[in-house]
Structure formats: C-alpha cells, structure tokens
Amino acid sequence: MVVGLFLLSACAQKEISSGPVPQAPVSPPEEAVSPPPSPPVAGERPSGVKGPPAFSEESLEAAARKARELPPEERLRLYGRSTPPLKAIFFDFDDYRIRPDMIPRLEEDARFLLQHPEYRVELQGNCDERGDRDYNLALGEKRALEVKKYLENLGVSPERLSTVSFGEERPLAPGHNEAAWALNRRVDLVILKNP
C-alpha cells in the first residue's frame, strides 16, 4: 500500500503534456449586413431632413405678409393655397407620384412641421379640369395621400395630417391651357385652426 501511495504521489507531481490546444474550426468570414434603418420617431429629426431649417423662426402672420409681397404668379407657384411658410406640392399630368423637384419643398415643409408640433395640417388634393369629376376626385385624393405618406416618412406624426380631395372644383388658375393646368395640379398644405 505504501508503494501504491508512492506511485500515486509521483504521478501527481509529474506535469502532463497535452500538446497543442485544439481550436474551434475557422469558418469563412460572412459579409457584414447592416440592419435596416429604423423608422423615424415622432419629434425627432429623421435622417432625410438635414440641418437647420431653411427659414427663420417667424410667426404665421409674418410668413403670410412675406408671401403677399411676392408677385402674384410667383406666390401661386410657391404656395398655391397653402398656409405660408408651407409650400404647395405640384404634380405632372395624370400622375400622383412626387416629382423630384418637389422633394426639397416637402423636406422644408417637414422641417417646419417638426419644429412646430402644435400645428395640424389638411392636405388638399387638386386636379386640372381634364378628366371627369369622379376620376379627378380620386386622383386628388391619391395626391394628398402620397404627400401625407412622404411627410410621415420624414417624421411628421400621422395624427397631425388629414387629407381631402377637391378634384377640379377649386382651380387656382382659371385658364384652359398648360400654364393654368400646371398650377391646378397640386396639394395645398393648410394649417387648421386649433379648436
């Protein structure tokens, strides 16, 4: 028994060589996948609306006064029947998609609305006189909904935006030519009075 203990103690003092430590198999590197962008949170500035606003802090009265000082044709091309400083969004014939040249306007409108969460806005869809009444009412609604969706994507709360279509019933320009029709194909952004 003494010999057994002697052998056992000798084995315990001896270092055991284990050789190289095995490593986990190496798999080929995967491509980095970026997570999808998170939707904007109401009240925060979304990534699509960059920098400080393109306008200074001004009251609605001052913005309306500045708009009235513009030549009538320029005022109509900028604002339509929108509440200044919000600008009208114009459309191509028989189309409700946002034109590329209207995107900066929508971004400016969104900046104003994000800085002034107290305002609710009615998006009023309009059409030129071509097409029948029902078709133009539907097209005006599609235009208003497209502007609403774009503003929501820029961070404006949907609860602050309502839509209505006037179709061809409220022409901005009374003529029967392309210049008049182009002014009549629009969405006006009208600030609603608080109840």
| CATH number for position 127 | 3.30.1330.60
In angstroms, the CA 163 to CA 10 distance is: 90
Across the chain, mean pLDDT equals 80
**In this structure, is residue 162 part of a structural domain?**
yes
% of the chain beyond a pLDDT of 90? 65
**Band of pLDDT at residue 58, cut at 50, 70 and 90:** low
Q: For residue 24, what pLDDT is reported?
A: 41
**In this structure, is residue 105 part of a structural domain?**
yes
Instruction: For residue 16, count other CB atoms closer than 10 A to its CB.
Output: 5
What does pTM read for this prediction? Answer: 0.71
**In this structure, is residue 181 part of a structural domain?**
yes
**In this structure, is residue 32 part of a structural domain?**
no
Among 12-16, 164-168, 190-194, the range with the most confident prediction by mean pLDDT is 164-168
Q: Crossing angle for the helix pair 133-153 and 103-115, nearest 10 degrees?
A: 60
Q: For residue 193, what pLDDT is reported?
A: 76
Count of domains forming the chain:
1
Edge-first strand order for the sheet with 89-90 is: 89-90, 186-192, 120-126, 161-167
Report, as an integer, the average pLDDT of 108-128. Answer: 96
**In this structure, is residue 73 part of a structural domain?**
no
**In this structure, is residue 22 part of a structural domain?**
no
**In this structure, is residue 27 part of a structural domain?**
no
Range of the domain at 93: 79-192
Q: For residue 60, what pLDDT is reported?
A: 86
Please state which of the ranges 12-21, 60-69, 72-81, 176-185 shows the lowest mean pLDDT. Answer: 12-21
